[in-house]
Structure 1
Amino acid sequence: MSRADQASLRVIPGGLSVVEEAARDRGGIRPRGGPILRPGRNCWKLARAKRASVLVDGADYFAALEKAIRTATRSIVILGWDFDGRIRLRPDADERESPPLGQLLRAQVEANPELEVNILVWSESIVHTPGSTKEMLFGAAWQEHARIKVKLDTYHPIYAAHHQKIVTIDDCLAFSGGMDLTVGRWDRTPHRVHDPLRIDPDGKAYPAVHDVQMLVDGDAACVLAEVAKDRWRNATGGGAPLDCDCSHDYWPEGLVPDFVDVDVAVARTLPEYLDTEPVHEAVDLTIDAIESARDTIYIEAQYMTSSLLGDVIEKRLRALDGPEIVVVMAHECHGIIEKWVMGTNRDRLIRRLRQADRYGRLRILYPAIADGGETTQVFVHSKVVVIDDRFMRIGSSNLNNRSIGLDTECDVAIEAKNGAQARAVTRLRDRLVAEHIGVTAERFALEMERRGSLVAAIEALGGGKCRLLPFEAMSDEGPSHPVPGTRLLDPSRPYRILRLWDRFWRRRKLGR
């Protein structure tokens, strides 16, 4: 990363926590009505996309990605929390037409003599993620090519994760959002209790899963390519320079864009580590967006545990003229630590927000499918914020402490500037809600218009096979403060003692 780029980063001054700085900067709710996106404060850069599309669920994302991979001639960069080259991007197609991802990448490299494939995966994925540990540690046949490089990313503080999910094609097309290219991510709309195609490479079935990814081209894709290549250089010390000379059209054939000629913001989280200064654009963007809402806030998240974000939502609930707030979230947590920190803190934050909801404008729900007497939950992995009809944010950032300042994150956002863009934002929200309650987006939009309420429309149309159910904590009693150990197990910044340790070994390595 250049000195100029480092100087442009928004740095938290030494000695202040994220919460303290937020309180100092804001002093209360930011006045509503002005623009949300402000480069240098809550996003890194704002760049124009000729086209942008929201890809809901893995089937749509993976199919578009496969088409994009086949257009690459110079560079494919993949960043992820996890990766598995055994997955198939289109399990509904014949394997000869749609081979496993690793084989597809190898074939593309062999067909294009200048193409390089760089795959960067979180170093601890071999322990914590569902992808193939064997391939990450020992390689696979498809990796045996000089222009395919698979690296484990160790450039992060202890206990931190590389969490960005970005794929760039020739620096001219970019995908960014919540989906990793690994097992357990493919699913299709409508979700089913049992889908014969929803199996991992070992033939094991996995539950229904909901996720969202954004696709952009033009200058916005170039900015995301810069994020990806900066990360690759930091982690490996090498990599090709940025080359956004897009002489032909990379847009996936047949995909109708949701937005045309639209400005796209890129917001990041970077933890303090060695020579990297901390960046907290993503959380600032989420807070500014929530504070700007007039009528509705719609959120999808795997986790919502952050007390800082809880403070902001609580203020909106207590305000007489505050918006309706609907949160759709994953219900189940896996593992003892995740259940203790994420699950328990989620329930405690729900209770706190329920107590603040003096006007009955809050709903916190999880999606489920009922089929033949069997009810199954849908795992929500998406990270989405939609504000009124004028703002949407899609990315890798959860609403937990880790995403504020410990893990690396990347979110993309659009703020509507005209009627067409506002309608596209509204259609996205309607499409997401409609999927969860099993109706068409058009029917949901009509119900919204008739009732003038997001909450009322959901409750009027819910109750079918696909449904949104309230969390138990919306009605039970219990504590509403974070559990003991939260600062240790879900920190919002690297541990101070470990930051000193990192710097010590860095100085020894450089001989200083």
Structure 2
Amino acid sequence: MPLIHGDLEVEVVSGEDLVDQDNALFNIIPGDWSDVWVDVNLGTTNILQTRIRNNTISPIWNERVYLPVYQSADFLEVTVWDKDHLRSEMIGRGRVLVGDHDKAWRKDGPVFLDGGKGKINMKINYTPAAQARAESIEVPKGYYKMRKGGSLTLYQDANATKIPGIVGTSDGAFVAMAETIRRAKKFIYIAAWSLWTGTRLERDKDTLGELLKQKAAEGVRVLLLLWNEKFSAGLCAGLIGTFDEDTDRYFEKTGVHVQKARRTRTGSNFLRDKLVEVVWTHHQKMLVADDGGDDIVAFLGGLDLTAGRWDTPEHELFSTLLGEHRGDFHNGFIKVKESQGPREPWHDVHGRLTGQAAIDLLRNFEERWRKQASKNVHLLFPLSEEDLKPSSGPTGDVTWQIQVVRSIDKDSAEFDSSRVGLLDSAGGHLADTSLHTALVRLVRRAENFLYIESQYFIGSSQAWEKDQDCARNLVPLEIAERVVSKIRAGKEFRAYILLPMIPEGNPDEHIIRSSMKTILYYQHLTIQMMYKRIAAALQEVGSKNHPTDYLLILCLGKKESRTRVARSAGVETPRPGSEESKWRQRSRFLIYVHSKMALADDSHILMGSANLNQRSLDGIRDTELAVSACQVREGSNSHEEAVTDGVVRDFRKSLWAEHTTGLSQEEDDLADPASLAAVRRLKQLADDALETYVRDDSDSEPRSRFLRYPLDVSQDGTVKARPGMPNIPDFDIPAVGCRGLIPPTPSV
């Protein structure tokens, strides 16, 4: 059975002469024909499900999907169904044999259903991964095109400080956003999972709420599109803490227009549609505004404009409690006094765009506003293409290529009718699934190394040892495949994945505890699948190298000496035996990784709001937004070549310098992430740092905040809890997780 590994475009055009299920036996109601829809499967993977066409035996769909595939299969299976009130009944089934797995092929024409029950006209186009690898980073036939020009500024954490070993520093994401808001003369649009009006983007200046009210009073059109959390009112008020009700009340009669939007779904299943409102979210995090002139400035990434997100690369635990974090204290894991701490350090990645890609982000907001604030469409500031004069970006021989990619469906955006043909048919819904495709494309094109930071890492369940249907995104499988292909070719390649030590939540609350364990369980299945494949490849080529020489899973933690903690100015001394006293004695806390970023070869970066899990990458679950970007310069024969010594490389080096407090800039072994020396040195640093982190009697501060994720990987790829460390440090939660009360779908 051939492995179909590449990009597959499938279009269901129409049906002809389909057997009528409704009138096949009794012609009771004249004109009552079958209500038909089509399922297309490649092996065990459902790749396309059309919408229902009512009362017809000659339906026209013109629905397509463009998606990456990794599936062993001999044929595509096409099934036609008749939708009845209580269930669906199969009309017929047909097959299309796949072509060569290692060559591009196209098949257009009818697929005949068995038993002479009609035919489905289809168009199928396949491009093997090896061929796509030679193409650009652009997602083909994406809703938004790859844009040339403009600029992309990358930020680590909300506020900038000097990073050891790194020359220069930017203003920081929050300061840059505050400056953009102040300069705006026409409009300010914000789409947010959570927005807290008390956020001070600049610690010594106005709150975000005050700043936005001032701009509205100046006549600037200020529109806020907030996720309307199902449990933010009533008996469960404040369960998740998104502040949507508080924000709405704060801006009443101020000229700032707030639209709270539930993540709704319109379908034929009432209970499922209601469940969507509880489970899925609007997760985009973006700000777009005019720059005071004719240009547009946009921000997107992982940072929410809400409580607890302001942090610096120092990630202080105690010393800022009565300073920068007074009134903005957050710890989602434990209940401690704000004046005694520790706080929860927050690591994140964000970006600022100009140029045509920023206009695409503007259009994304407008599409969502038209759908989710349909009664207030008139509030959108009128902007035609002629009104917009995007920046061409810095002059010189280096140019940005930037593509906006999304996970979003028709229930969350009013798509441009002229681009509907570029959308996928996902579960009978039109959806933009380009974000998942862009991530897979980044992984497939990587030649030397991958560096990923993600809040969650779950996927490719079709390759797990069990529970194979819950999270079928391809990203983990593609990473493992890229490593395996390099091992077989005898070439160096590394993948570094940075995750939070544990999902955020207070484990003392039973439902949250169950969710945390469930997430870790599926994360463990994901990681073990990858290591098993890498171990098998090493055995196949006779290598004695260890699987962790190719794939390294890391987390972050901050250990502060007790002497340093004791010197923290003005911090209250906790009562002996209290929760605060216990944490003061430990003088450590995990650094929560909230980034959503993948980086390849110091040249290509994808960053935005999407985590590496099914929720974010599905297309019809959480609404997500990201950009895929690289810098290019003209090379030999006038061909564009990816820049490997530009902004993306500098950003990766700055991240590593933050996580090693400058060691990565000092040690030659860490200079080349693709080298065996680099991965082994980083393993050593991370192992030593983890051992120091968990020692209660230690008064040292390890320079590496990279910690080895507390799992043990054997030579054969088996992944277990680390010896002597069955649980996540400081939390009574098993490192490999376990099945909890929460079903998999909301968790993955």
Q: TM-score range by the shorter chain?
A: 0.7 to 0.9
SS in structure 1 opposite 2:310?
coil
1:169 maps to 289
2:703 paired residue number: 465
Residue number among 475, 495, 514 corresponding to 1:325 in the alignment: 495
Q: How far apart, CA to CA, are the structure 2 residues paired with 1:450 and 1:249?
A: 34
CA distances 1:112-167 after superposition (whole Å, capped 9, x unpaired): x2x11100111117355334355145x11x54223x11111125331221111110
Rounded Cα–Cα distance in structure 2 between residues aligned with 1:182 and 1:379? 15
> Structure 2: where are the runs of 5+ without partners?
1-8, 13-37, 48-68, 72-124, 160-171, 233-237, 266-275, 331-337, 415-428, 461-473, 506-511, 536-546, 563-586, 634-640, 690-701, 714-718, 722-734
Cα displacement string for residues 413-443 of structure 1 (whole angstroms, at most 9, x for unaligned residues): 2123237842122111111122111116643
CA distance in 2, matches of 1:79, 1:445: 43
Counterpart of 1:455, as a letter, is V
- Could you say which residue in structure 2 is the equivalent of 1:152? 260
How far did residue 187 of structure 1 move? 0.3
Contact 1:81–1:163 under 8 Å retained in 2 = yes
Residue 264 in structure 1 maps to residue 402 in structure 2: yes
Deviation at 1:228, TM superposition (A): 1.2
Change in 2 beyond 3 A, CA 1:70/1:257: farther
Deviations 1:220-249 (A, max 9, x none): 211111111111111101142445645799
In structure 2, what is the equivalent of residue 316 of structure 1? 482
Show the counterpart of 1:5. Answer: none
Letter matched to residue 484 of structure 2: R
Contact 2:190/2:225 (<8 A) preserved: yes
SS in 1 for 2:705: strand
* Secondary structure at the counterpart of residue 280 of structure 2: coil
Letter matched to residue 327 of structure 1: I
Partner of 2:191: 79
What are the Cα deviations for residues 374-412 of structure 1, in whole angstroms up to 9, with x where unaligned? 332100000110011321011111111101221111111
Decide whether aligned partners of structure 1 residues 42 and 442 sit closer, same or farther in structure 2, where only a CA change above 3 A counts. Answer: farther
- Is 1:214 the counterpart of 2:319 in the alignment? no
Partner residue of 2:556? 367
The reply on whether 1:198 has 2:325 as its aligned counterpart is yes
Equivalents in 1 of 2:397, 2:259: separation in Å?
Answer: 34
2:194, 2:600 → 1: CA distance?
30
Q: Provide the C-alpha distance between the structure 2 equivalents of 1:250 and 1:368, rounded to a whole number of angstroms.
A: 41
Flag structure 1 segments of 5+ consecutive residues without an equivalent. 1-9, 492-512
Q: Match of 2:191, SS?
A: strand
Q: Identify the range of structure 1 (266-275 vs 234-243) with the bigger mean alpha-carbon deviation.
A: 266-275
Alpha-carbon contact 1:82-1:129 (below 8 Å) kept: no
Task: Report the Cα distance in structure 2 between the residues aligned to 1:83 and 1:257, rounded to whole angstroms.
Answer: 36
288 and 467 in structure 1: CA distance in 2 versus 1, 3 angstrom threshold: same
The 8 Å contact of residues 49 and 216 in structure 1, kept in 2 or not, is answered as: no
Determine helix, strand or coil for the equivalent of 1:311.
helix
On the 8 A contact 1:81/1:162 being kept in 2, the answer is: yes
Task: Please tell me whether the aligned partners of residues 430 and 444 of structure 1 are also in contact (alpha carbons under 8 angstroms).
Answer: no
Equivalent position of 2:228 in the other structure: 123
Other-structure match for 1:342: 519
Q: Going by fraction, where is helix more abundant, 1 or 2?
A: 1
- Matched residue SS, 1:213: strand
User: Is the counterpart of residue 109 in structure 1 residue 212 in structure 2?
Assistant: no
Give the CA deviation at 1:292: 1.4
Among 48, 59, 64, which residue is 2:148 paired with?
A: 48
For residue 366 of structure 2, what is the aligned residue in structure 1? 229
Partner of 2:440: 287
Partner Cα distance (1:285, 1:436) in 2 = 27
For the residues of structure 2 that align with 1:228 and 1:451, how far apart are their CA atoms?
A: 39
- TM-superposed CA distance for 1:81, in Å, is 0.8
Aligned counterparts of 1:11 and 1:156: Cα–Cα separation in 2: 27
TM-score (norm: length of structure 2):
0.57
Deviation at 1:344, TM superposition (A): 1.8
Q: Deviations over 1:327-359 (max 9, x none)?
A: 001112222353133222112222222223335
Shift in alpha-carbon separation, 1:404–1:51, aligned structure 2, 3 A: closer
Amino acid across the alignment from 1:102: G
Q: 1:408-487 counterparts in 2 under 5 A? A: 408-418=623-633, 421-423=643-645, 424-439=647-662, 442-443=665-666, 447-449=670-672, 452-453=675-676, 454-456=678-680, 458-459=682-683, 463=689, 464-475=702-713, 476-477=719-720, 487=744
CA contact (8 A) 2:355 2:392 kept: no
CA contact (8 A) 2:493 2:675 kept: no
Question: Does the aligned pair in 1 maintain the 2:193–2:285 contact within 8 Å?
Answer: yes
Map of 2:745 onto structure 1: 488
Matched, 1:407 2:622: yes
- When the two structures are superposed, what TM-score results if normalisation uses the length of structure 1? 0.81
Identify the range of structure 1 (40-49 vs 203-212) with the bigger mean alpha-carbon deviation.
40-49
User: Contact (CA 8 Å) 1:71, 1:250: kept in 2 or not?
Assistant: no
State the shift of 1:103 in Å: 0.3
Aligned-partner Cα distance in 2 for 1:446–1:243: 53
Pairs aligned (count):
468
Cα distance between partner residues in 1 of 2:176 and 2:405: 23
* Distance (whole Å) between structure 2 residues aligned to residue 134 and residue 77 of structure 1: 19
Cα separation, 1, equivalents of 2:434 and 2:361:
15
Give me the whole-angstrom Cα distance separating, in 1, the residues matched to 2:612 and 2:674.
29
CA distance in 2, matches of 1:420, 1:348: 35
User: What is the CA distance between 1:40 and its match in structure 2?
Assistant: 4.0
Asked whether the 8 Å contact 2:139–2:434 carries over to 1, the reply is no
In structure 2, the CA distance between the partners of 1:490 and 1:363, relative to structure 1 (3 Å rule), is: same
Following superposition, the deviation at residue 456 of structure 1 comes to: 3.7
How far 1:212 sits from its partner (Å)? 0.7
The structure-2 alpha-carbon separation of the partners of 1:32 and 1:229, relative to structure 1 and needing over 3 Å to count, comes to: closer
Structure 2 distance, partners of 1:163, 1:426, is 28
**TM-aligned CA distance change 1:444 to 1:124, over 3 Å:** farther
Distance 1:365 1:458, change over 3 A: same
Rounded Cα–Cα distance in structure 1 between residues aligned with 2:229 and 2:400: 37
2:426 aligned with 1:273, yes or no? no
SS at match of 1:357: helix
Does 2:188 align with 1:188?
A: no
Q: Which amino acid aligns with 1:409?
A: E
- The one-letter amino acid paired with 1:416 is Q
1:426-466 Cα deviation digits (max 9, x unpaired): 11111112211111664368831499454245346654334
Task: Letter of the 2:710 partner, please give it.
Answer: E
Report 1 or 2 for greater relative contact order, CA contacts < 8 Å, sequence distance ≥ 6. Answer: 1
What secondary structure, in the 3-state scheme, does the structure 2 residue paired with 1:223 have?
helix
CA contact (8 A) 2:227 2:282 kept: yes
Corresponding residue number in structure 1 for 2:243: 132
Displacement after TM superposition at 1:250 (Å): 13
State the distance in 2 between where 1:247 and 1:272 align.
29
1:58 alignment counterpart: 158
Say if 2:492 is the partner of 1:392: no
**Identity among equivalent pairs (%):** 21
| Equivalent residue runs for 1:14-53 within 5 Å | 15-16=39-40, 20-21=46-47, 22-23=69-70, 29-31=129-131, 33-41=133-141, 44-53=144-153
Pair 1:398–1:129, CA change in 2 (3 A): same
* Greater strand share, structure number: 2
Residue aligned with 1:278, SS: strand
1:107 to 1:258, Cα distance in 2 relative to 1, 3 A: farther
